[in-house]
Amino acid sequence: MGGSSSGKKSFTHDQKLAFVDAANPHQWYYTAENLHMQALSLWQNRGQSLITMTKIGHAPVTWDETNRATFLLAAFAMENMLKAFLVYENPSFIADGYLKEITTHDLWKLANRSSLVPHKVRDRWVFEAFCGGNESWARYPCGRDADGIQPEGHFTEKLWKKYCAMMQTYKEKIQRLLAKGWNGPYGHYGKWTFTDF
């Protein structure tokens, strides 16, 4: 592995093939499903422990202790699912041994780049809700500066239900696509079978 004139690392052919295998659309889908299942588990256990913040002169604010973790898992699950669609339709995004064009965490930008993501304009508010939390209260205790301070938001029932419906729709579509097969860089081909238990 050496440098190139463009400043990007260069990889051997075997390294590039290994990267395609690690970053194929099924791997993104599988990661999305795993994160989604963990978010489901946390959501189902909400209400067991609450956090209440009190400040003099302000009304107390209470939220579920699993709120932040559930939100993050759901946001990362959605991000991985969107990247599954993008890699499926743009295999060049994982060529050359590194990710191209999909390194953002901005869900709306990712969704908007794909022609395969269903109902993305209608569901833009979901992407934006996750991005808002992901860039502030959900991931970090503070913003990048004093203007970015936000209290922990609530992962609402409305957002949760919409997120779950979207993930189910996306799961069904990406499984159909992967079952048809995928032609990746360097002659890589994959075709997957899905069985419900």
Give me the number of domains the chain comprises.
1
Residue 63 domain-assigned (yes or no):
yes
Instruction: Report if residue 115 sits inside a domain.
Output: yes
**Chain-centroid distance, C-alpha 135:** 13
CA dist., res. 126 & res. 75, Å (int) = 10
| φ, ψ (nearest 5 deg) of residue 64 | -70, 140
Give residue 47's pLDDT.
Answer: 87
Contacts of 89 (CB under 8 A, 6+ apart): 114, 115, 116
Does residue 56 sit within a domain? yes
CA dihedral 148, 152, 158, 161 (to 10 degrees): 100
Could you tell me if residue 3 is inside a domain? no
Residues β-bridged to residue 52: 62
Amino acid 120: pLDDT: 95
* Confidence at residue 136, expressed as pLDDT on a 0 to 100 scale: 76
Q: What pTM, to 2 d.p., does this model score? A: 0.91
**Residue given tokens 């209440």 in the structure block:** 52
The count of other CB atoms within 10 Å of the CB of residue 113 is 18
Domain for residue 173, yes or no?
A: yes
Domain residues for 173?
12-182
Q: β-strand 9-10 against 50-53: which pairing, if any?
A: unpaired
* In-domain check, residue 195: no
Q: Which two tokens stand for residue 181?
A: 């097969």
CA angle 115, 121, 127 (to 5 degrees): 95
Listed as ranges, residues in the chain with pLDDT below 70 are 1-6, 197
- Please report whether residue 116 resides in a domain: yes
- What's the pLDDT tens digit per position in 20-63? 999 999 999 999 999 999 999 999 999 898 888 898 999 998 88
Quote the tokens at residue 124: 């833009």
Residue 84 tokens read as: 């599954």
* pLDDT, position 2: 52
Report the pLDDT value the prediction gives residue 184, as an integer from 0 to 100: 97
Has residue 156 been placed in a domain? yes
**Residue 63 CB neighbours (<10 A):** 17
Among candidate residues 89, 82, 129, the one with its CA nearest the CA of residue 109: 82
For residue 100, what pLDDT is reported?
96
